[in-house]
A and B are shown apart, each in its own frame.
Chain A
Amino acid sequence: MVEQNLKIELGKQGVFVTTIEELYNWGRRSSVWPMQFGLACCAIEMIATTMARYDLARFGAEVFRPSPRQADLMIISGTVTKKMAPQVVRLYNQMAEPKYVIAMGACAISGGPFKQGYNVLKGIDRYIPVDVHIPGCPPRPEALIHAFMTLQKKIDAQSLTGEGRPRHLDEEAPGEFPVPEGGAHDIEPPANASVWHFPIIR
């Protein structure tokens, strides 16, 4: 490992020193292309974020891909109904690794104002691993940009080996997440136990 100060000094002399890990993470975080889909009113804020005033392009995420095969980031922008949940999980499964999820807004993280309803999923994190949760109803574009920067920091800090390495470098990690199905009274199963556990109030 090269010390940070030495690296800066070398940089001044025109010598660029880096590690594979840094280069790899720089590449991963600098062009996180979101998938083009919106679920509810949060999608309007997401659209605003990409437009000239907030300009998500500054973070390398201007290209919203219309296919899950080409996308890296899934922004769950809005209410996930129980009827929609299987499709969302299926789309997530169709995305290629490395892939990230931002749950945007109160509905996507917990069910929001529809939490007590019969037809709304109480948070998408019941079925797929979520990297960043943003509260708000809907969150402002600044909040989405903040979530995006948080995700970039998270990618940057990730080690390529050992515990906590990216999922696609971990042979044991699941590549696919079970898709729930609509049952007679509720969707089955109610949650994926490998990514979500019942919250405990102490």
Chain B
Amino acid sequence: MKSVEEIKAAIEAAVPGAGVTIVPNSSPSGENSLLIDAQHAFAAAKFLHDDGELALDFLSNVTGVDWLDKETTEKVKVTKQVPKEVDGVQTMVDETVEETRKSVEPGYLEAVYHLFSVAKKHGPVIFRVRTQNRTNGVELPSMTPIWRGAEFQEREVFDLYGIVFVGHPDLRRILMWDGFKDHPMRKDYVEPDDFEYEPTAHDKVLERHKQQLEKVQA
């Protein structure tokens, strides 16, 4: 099978303007994946499916990943002009001050597709697609028109992560009930407070039990 670099080049040749980045995987399996920009993802996926040499006709897995906003703090040395009295004369002197700067890298949701070829007996080829953010820009193109097997798995990703797949024929919740509002696999999901009992409750658990007991008795 072609290497990830070769597949990247092939996609870029076949789909003009497609932004493909290799996401390295340093584990022993070394399964590097391709990050494709959402706009060209459908065309690129179609190429992966239709290309005679790759012939990735089998979609084995679709999953989601929730990447939270990443807050980075870095210490920067800044040189400032500071007024200072030197030998009785007011002058401006350069002074190096350490400042901490915070920057927030916005989070996003990611859909990961694992592809194999039954015809050529090779794989997997892994590609990822990322949403703009985690709140209002959560649309991604659906791969169901290419691989029919994506239908239920994309529904599951929609249910648990809240990624909206545009072009999906029947995007409904699949595991949770219809009136459910949350997306439980998101990292900031708050689960319902139906905690009740541990057989050997102690410390924090016992504390929570007491709180719950008060709530129930009230």
Residues of A in contact with B (beta carbons under 8 Å apart): 82-83, 117-119, 122, 181-186, 190, 198-201
Given contacts A83-B176, A118-B184, contact A201 B192 (CB under 8 A): no
- Distance between Cα atoms of A186 and B184 in the complex (Å): 11
Q: Choose the segment among B61-69, B113-121, B163-171, B209-217 that binds chain A (4+ C-beta atoms closer than 8 Å).
A: B209-217
How far in angstroms is the closest Cβ of chain B from A188?
Answer: 10
A-chain residues with CB within 8 Å of residue B197 when the two chains form the complex: 198-199, 201
Report the nearest B residue to A188, measured CB to CB: B179
A-chain residues with CB within 8 Å of residue B178 when the two chains form the complex: 182
Say whether B177 contacts A182, CB under 8 Å.
Answer: yes
How far in angstroms is the closest Cβ of chain A from B111?
Answer: 21
How far in angstroms is the closest Cβ of chain B from A115?
Answer: 9
Q: B176-218 vs A: 1/0 string, CB under 8 Å?
A: 1111111010000101101011000100001001001100100
Sampled A-B contacts (18; CB under 8 Å): A83-B176, A118-B189, A118-B191, A119-B176, A119-B184, A182-B176, A182-B179, A182-B180, A183-B180, A184-B179, A184-B180, A186-B194, A190-B194, A198-B196, A198-B216, A199-B197, A201-B197, A201-B201
How far in angstroms is the closest Cβ of chain B from A185?
Answer: 5
A-chain residues with CB within 8 Å of residue B201 when the two chains form the complex: 201
- Distance between Cα atoms of A153 and B182 in the complex (Å): 46
- Distance between Cα atoms of A181 and B181 in the complex (Å): 14
Q: Does B175 contact A (CB under 8 A)?
A: yes
Given contacts A185-B182, A201-B209, contact A83 B175 (CB under 8 A): yes
- Distance between Cα atoms of A118 and B216 in the complex (Å): 20
Given contacts A118-B192, A119-B176, contact A201 B181 (CB under 8 A): no
B-chain residues with CB within 8 Å of residue A83 when the two chains form the complex: 175-177
Report the nearest A residue to B216, measured CB to CB: A198
- Distance between Cα atoms of A109 and B28 in the complex (Å): 43
- Distance between Cα atoms of A106 and B40 in the complex (Å): 49
B-chain residues with CB within 8 Å of residue A119 when the two chains form the complex: 175-176, 184
B-chain residues with CB within 8 Å of residue A181 when the two chains form the complex: 179
A-chain residues with CB within 8 Å of residue B206 when the two chains form the complex: 201
Say whether B180 contacts A199, CB under 8 Å.
Answer: no
**Which of A117, A182, A201 is most buried by chain B, counting CB atoms within 10 A of its CB?**
A201
Say whether B192 contacts A185, CB under 8 Å.
Answer: yes
B-chain residues with CB within 8 Å of residue A182 when the two chains form the complex: 176-180
Say whether A199 contacts B196, CB under 8 Å.
Answer: yes
A-chain residues with CB within 8 Å of residue B184 when the two chains form the complex: 118-119
- Distance between Cα atoms of A122 and B194 in the complex (Å): 9
A-chain residues with CB within 8 Å of residue B189 when the two chains form the complex: 118
How far in angstroms is the closest Cβ of chain A from B9?
Answer: 44
Report the nearest A residue to B185, measured CB to CB: A118
Report the nearest A residue to B190, measured CB to CB: A185
